[in-house]
């Protein structure tokens, strides 16, 4: 049931206006399982209209060519308005997502505003370089925006993911056509409306709604989309690579899936580690890319830690995302919950011991119990597959060498956590881990937006956040002048 004060539009946002279109996809609330509204599915013509609007906005406003300080000021104004509208944005998000409105309002939104300001600050500080050429010539490396960036976001943190895409692309002087997930469209749509209210040129931020195979594919393949920035599953990332290879080579940033290990050594602070392990898998019901879904523990502390985790995994109480402040999140869809359960049951059939959980909560909505599986070998599906739910495996090791063997994943390399008081060990093992991020004696991102995030191996290509994300939205041109 829709919230009486929310406008859940069945429309795209193109050229600074809502463009109503017939409903093609139903949107449901994972908290209740009920329909909350519907959205259109943009076809090639609608995607073309959005890309054309983006190009027109760049031409008429000279967004990328004007004083960079103007970009900076406009983006700061947008960030201010996002904070001012936090309550509406949070409700538009929580009505169909797995994020509690209260947490979106107090966490995701201020952090997103902060990140937009962070990227805005690069606009008037990053510059090209002079090249060390002989006296007879003058060489320099100029950098420039791409033009229109095509961005595609997942459902798990809709506003945050939209911010990661829009912030650096706009600060770097580009226009964006963004497709949010078909399951969580409305907060992103409203972000775009706020961009125009804040004074960004109409057409600089365009939102097309629709699914991956139709709308996403059309966006990626559009000849005037100069760069693609994608966050989602490794499977969809592969489809996008294929699409780009077929329809015209262009640069892409891909932030993909993971199966991240959290390793606890015998000398770790166990209170700190237990807290971090829980925070590493249970927020958003484990539906975050860097979730620490493989817990690896030294055999000497395994029993103690397993007991503590079992107690902590029994504690969460589900909440309705529109009302709760700290209630446990639902799984995004019933279908996804069934997939999670199928992997858990397959894991048990292959010999895993269920320490806790292993079934849904007995209530409306798609809530799955925090689940811990022990006695799993390297080929158990709970160890190999990205589950994207509140499910962790619990394995033990006897020494560093075995710990590193277990930590390495054949496919993924997104993040890893190390818990030890031995700094030499932490640094030694950090070097060995084939992951894009390593956290030591903590698990999860901080507000240090300067640290880029992104995967190694099949977990991704390129980075979000950090200076790297800004630079990934600009391209260089080498200029050589004979004097």
Q: Which residues are catalytic?
A: 255, 289
Of 182, 306, 324, 330, the one binding ligand NAD by CB under 6 A: 182
**Is residue 418 near ligand NAD by the rule CB under 6 A?**
no
Please identify which residue in 97, 115, 231, 393 interacts with ligand NAD, judged by CB under 6 A: 231
Q: How many residues bind ligand NAD (CB under 6 A)?
A: 32
Residue 42 or 414 with smaller CB distance to ligand NAD: 414
- Per CB under 6 A, the list member of 217, 221, 376, 383 interacting with ligand NAD is 217
The verdict on 388 binding ligand NAD (CB under 6 A) reads yes
Interacting positions 263-302 with ligand NAD (CB under 6 A): 289
Binding to ligand NAD, residues 59-98 (CB under 6 A): none
Site for ligand NAD in 97-136 (CB under 6 A): none
By CB under 6 A, residue 40 contacts ligand NAD: no
* Residue among 308 and 442 whose Cβ is closer to ligand NAD: 442
User: Which residue among 47, 162, 240, 391 contacts ligand NAD (CB under 6 A)?
Assistant: 240
179 interacts with ligand NAD by CB under 6 A: yes
Toward ligand NAD, which CB reaches closer, 265 or 443?
Answer: 443
Quick one: which segment of 22-30, 234-242, 270-278, 317-325 binds ligand NAD (CB under 6 A)? Answer: 234-242
Q: Measured between alpha carbons, how far is 39 from 282 in angstroms, rounded to an integer?
A: 30
- Closest separation in Å from C-beta 174 to ligand NAD: 19
| Per-residue tokens: 24 | 């093609």
Can you give the length of the chain in residues?
Answer: 483
Binding segment for ligand NAD among 67-75, 189-197, 205-213, 260-268 (CB under 6 A)?
205-213
Per CB under 6 A, 12 contacts ligand NAD? no
Residue 258, interface with ligand NAD (CB under 6 A)?
yes
- 439 binds ligand NAD, rule: CB under 6 A: no
Q: Which is nearer to ligand NAD, 29 or 61 (CB)?
A: 29
154 binds ligand NAD (CB under 6 A): yes
Is residue 452 close enough to count as binding ligand NAD by CB under 6 A? no
Residues that bind ligand NAD (CB under 6 A): 152-156, 179, 181-182, 211-213, 216-217, 220, 231-233, 236, 239-240, 255-258, 289, 386, 388, 414, 453, 455, 460, 464
């Amino acid at each position: 049931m829709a919230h009486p004060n929310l406008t859940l539009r069945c429309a795209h946002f193109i050229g600074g206006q809502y463009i109503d279109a017939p409903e093609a996809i139903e949107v449901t609330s994972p908290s209740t399982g009920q329909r909350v509204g519907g959205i259109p599915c943009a076809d090639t013509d609608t995607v073309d209209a959005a890309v054309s609007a983006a190009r027109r906005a760049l031409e008429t406003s000279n967004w990328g060519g004007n004083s960079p300080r103007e970009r900076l000021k406009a983006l700061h104004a947008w960030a201010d308005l996002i904070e001012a509208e936090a309550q509406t944005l949070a409700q538009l998000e929580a009505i169909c997502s797995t994020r509690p409105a209260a947490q979106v309002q107090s966490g995701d939104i201020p952090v997103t505003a902060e990140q937009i300001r962070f990227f805005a600050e690069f606009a008037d500080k990053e510059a090209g370089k002079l090249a060390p050429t002989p006296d007879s010539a003058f060489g320099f490396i100029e950098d420039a925006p791409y033009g229109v960036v095509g961005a595609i976001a997942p459902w798990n943190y809709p506003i945050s993911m939209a911010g990661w895409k829009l912030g650096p692309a706009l600060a770097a002087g580009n226009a964006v056509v963004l497709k949010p997930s078909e399951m969580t469209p409305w907060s992103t749509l409203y972000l775009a409306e706020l961009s125009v209210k804040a004074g960004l040129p109409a057409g600089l931020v365009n939102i097309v709604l629709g699914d991956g195979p139709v709308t996403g594919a059309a966006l990626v393949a559009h000849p005037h989309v100069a760069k693609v920035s994608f966050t989602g599953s490794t499977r969809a990332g592969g489809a996008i690579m294929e699409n780009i290879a077929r329809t015209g080579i262009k640069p892409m940033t891909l932030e993909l899936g993971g199966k991240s290990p959290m390793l606890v050594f015998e000398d770790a602070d166990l209170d700190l580690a237990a807290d971090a392990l829980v925070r590493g898998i249970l927020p958003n019901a484990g539906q975050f890319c860097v979730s620490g879904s493989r817990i690896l523990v030294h055999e000497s502390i395994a029993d103690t830690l397993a007991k503590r985790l079992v107690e902590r995994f029994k504690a969460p109480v589900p909440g309705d995302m529109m009302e709760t402040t700290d209630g446990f999140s639902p799984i995004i869809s019933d279908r996804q919950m069934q997939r999670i359960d199928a992997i858990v049951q397959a894991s048990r059939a292959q010999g895993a011991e269920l320490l806790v959980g292993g079934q849904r909560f007995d209530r409306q909505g798609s809530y799955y119990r925090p689940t811990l599986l022990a006695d799993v070998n390297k080929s158990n599906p709970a160890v190999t597959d990205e589950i994207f739910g509140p499910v962790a495996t619990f394995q033990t090791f006897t020494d560093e060498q075995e710990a590193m063997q277990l930590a390495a994943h054949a496919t993924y390399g997104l993040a890893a956590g190390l818990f030890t008081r031995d700094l030499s060990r932490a640094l030694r093992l950090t070097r060995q881990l084939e992951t894009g991020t390593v956290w030591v004696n903590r698990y999860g991102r901080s507000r240090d937006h300067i640290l880029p995030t992104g995967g190694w191996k099949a977990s991704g290509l390129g980075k979000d956040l950090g200076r790297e994300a800004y630079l990934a939205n600009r391209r260089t041109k080498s200029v050589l002048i004979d004097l």
